[in-house]
Structure 1
């Protein structure tokens, strides 16, 4: 392993509860209202990787090689804690995963650098150098087994897997994976290209071709499913995927270069990803980089976010209400009313609540 530089972040980046930016409440016509409380604001922040911690807080990783944490209740302090640098390379982190004992951060471009961070050590556990290497997302099935996906370096998507708690990672050969189609890749927009329920795994690809790769056995075997989402250009396709259970899933995306286009950017499955249907065609929202099911909503409630704002659906994506113009790249639900969100220059807490005059 080459020399690793670990630098503490100045304490001026630490914001306590008493110094949080005042919250903003939306004026949406929806039955749901939203409150946004900033936990950390700094112009250097670019947060696309965010995951909940077992402690009840969250971890996040930045495009400038920094890693931060949100402490759990009651303090809810957000702070930057580490600066990672490999020789002269400052990693651009877009993927992050958390187990009970460690956090993992993965950079996008060559050389791809995957670090394991725990209370006792910081290790570079995987490195890949290739002109086309570009990793997009990472998740764990359990404390021992995890997966990360990236753009093709050969004629299949890049998939690396660990079976020993993240200490070693192995890249699957293209003989073990479906062949990628011309122009098929993935987007590192929100670290939500992978959805896991038990041993079931769904991966969203995007670009000229946008499909679903599915494994029923934690990455040992794979099959593909077609989708009706907009595709055909390098900037089109699925940007984010979530599953509520083994049957119900939702994906969103569109065209990053045409963010208002909502003609075919939201799709839904009710059979575990085998078939997908377009929903809310020609209805807002347009392009969004992240979608998540609201917990305990029986696969009915969804929240989507992107740089153009936050939107909510109460009917499995059939209709949507715009909650806020404030944009975020990614979010994760702590419970059915609170989520943490990351974007350009900020980490925030998002509070959802039904309006007092709402009967539904």
Structure 2
């Protein structure tokens, strides 16, 4: 493993004001007049090392205990052990197609990788790497699948751009052995120019039996299901929208109540207004937050585990950003501007991937 450790900043002492990982000064409790019991940073420095450096574009990660699986372009996928650095490298070829995987999910025994474009290809791969099976294929000029996730080891969901007047929705109830496309008669209609972004495999968010799917483009909404995809409600959002490359690119829920979504205008990557929204009522209502502050276009957002829904980390065109107050303020913690996706191992460790790299961030 080629490893680089980057110390962003650290507290120099615990009894005085000091500079930390944050762009805004952070002080100790002794020097804060009225410290908030709700919002406080949980770390003072970030250590970063490189786990993988290859000519790959990686937009999909999944954490499997002490292992990280990734899906990438040109039919590539694989895993890295965080304990002993053991690697598994896989590649899938089909005819003369250039397969680009942007979605990945898992059950207890299998990994699933989903390709964008025509034809839509979904593969089941055993975690020991011995079996690879094409479990779903869909041909059509408009076919483009964006994200995949599982409720449990038997039931899973994948979403894609519309081929008719609704979003494309695949459901499995047998552990991913077979997938069925849901009829448009059972789904909400999409408006012209509304679709999904295959930016970081975070279009689908699952908490228990509840599911949220986020769209973007000329219209950007949230589709909510309380019954594992059998029925859907539609919720409007205030995020910037109206053109093909605007809207929600990523969302995450800390629990069934607190959620955050980001994106913005992909063609104006430094524009930092209208690109962050939050819900505190399970997605029924969304509000803009941190207008003209922090990052611009965001590719992926994730809540920090064990943070009571207060802490968030995002990656995108402006770098790696952190908020400890539910997105009200943001601090840049790393300069990487070519990361696409992020997943937490635990509260102190996250894995991020993007152009030609997978890195590990350790928050101390």
Per the TM superposition, whether the score is higher than 0.5 is yes
Q: Is the 8 A contact 2:62 2:68 kept in 1?
A: yes
1:222 Cα deviation from its structure 2 partner: 0.5
Q: Distance in 1 between matches of 2:196 and 2:150?
A: 19
- Counterpart among 297, 305, 330 of residue 341 in structure 2: 330
Say which SS state the counterpart of residue 22 (structure 1) adopts.
coil
Q: CA RMSD in A?
A: 1.1
Residue 45 (str. 1) matches residue 53 (str. 2): no
User: Quick one: structure 1 residues 56 and 117, their matched pair in 2 at CA, closer, same or farther if it must change by over 3 Å?
Assistant: same
What's the CA shift string for 1:90-109, capped at 9, x where partnerless? Answer: 31000000111100000000
* Aligned match of 1:35: 47
* Aligned match of 1:148: 158
- The unaligned stretches of length 5 or more in structure 1 are 1-14, 354-360
Q: Is the 8 A contact 2:207 2:256 kept in 1?
A: yes
Aligned positions, number? 331
Say which SS state the counterpart of residue 45 (structure 1) adopts.
coil
Residue 351 (str. 1) matches residue 362 (str. 2): yes
1:50 Cα deviation from its structure 2 partner: 0.5
1:277 Cα deviation from its structure 2 partner: 0.4
- Counterpart among 53, 56, 65 of residue 66 in structure 2: 56
Q: Distance in 2 between matches of 1:131 and 1:34?
A: 45
Q: Distance in 1 between matches of 2:6 and 2:120?
A: 38
- The unaligned stretches of length 5 or more in structure 2 are 10-20, 27-43
With the length of structure 2 as denominator, give the TM-score of the two structures: 0.89
- Counterpart among 236, 241, 254 of residue 244 in structure 1: 254
What's the CA shift string for 1:8-47, capped at 9, x where partnerless? Answer: xxxxxxx3xxxx23212225435542221001112x1110
Q: Is the 8 A contact 2:66 2:82 kept in 1?
A: yes
Q: Distance in 1 between matches of 2:328 and 2:290?
A: 5
With the length of structure 1 as denominator, give the TM-score of the two structures: 0.90
Q: Is the 8 A contact 1:57 1:76 kept in 2?
A: no
What's the CA shift string for 1:125-147, capped at 9, x where partnerless? Answer: 00001101111110000000000
* Aligned match of 1:317: 327
- Counterpart among 241, 264, 285 of residue 275 in structure 1: 285
After the TM superposition, which segments of 4 or more aligned residues of structure 1 sit over 4 Å from their partners?
A: none
